[in-house]
Amino acid sequence: MTLTPLCILAQKYDCDKFGAKHSYTEFYYNTFAARATTVRKVVEIGVGEGRSLRMWRDFFPNAHIYGMDVAARRVFQEERITVYKGNQHSVHDLRGLVEKVGSDVDLFIDDASHRPPDQAFTCATIMPLLNRGATYV
């Protein structure tokens, strides 16, 4: 594994996208490094303690990072980060999220339940609402 700048940010924020459990950051870095300064909107559902949101904020210096989580205690706002309450199983909540953040999302990340049926439901609900060119992970 190569230790990329995104891996270092993941370590800084103790993010689970890097390390023994997962090694997504190398893939994400190779995929998004060339676009780091042009990405303007990132949405991640399933935010946990917000560690990956902070990682994305630092990696994409010109982007606002939006999140959605089912737990009200995980709703927060700080510099270039806004988290909303919502449920991955709700068409209403998913559509509402896109209405709040806009359809011009550059990167949409599903890190919520991790269950394939839920992921398929979320993708089928969200993708038609996003502008062409959005990347969905």
Q: CA torsion 54→35→132→28, rounded to 10°?
A: -60
Q: Give the Cα-Cα-Cα angle 25, 28, 29 (nearest 5 degrees).
A: 85
Q: Catalytic annotation on 64?
A: no
Dihedral sign for Cα 8, 10, 11, 13, please: positive
- CA 94 – CA 123 distance, rounded (Å): 10
* Candidates 22, 64, 89, 114; catalytic one: 114
Any idea which residues carry the catalytic annotation?
Answer: 114
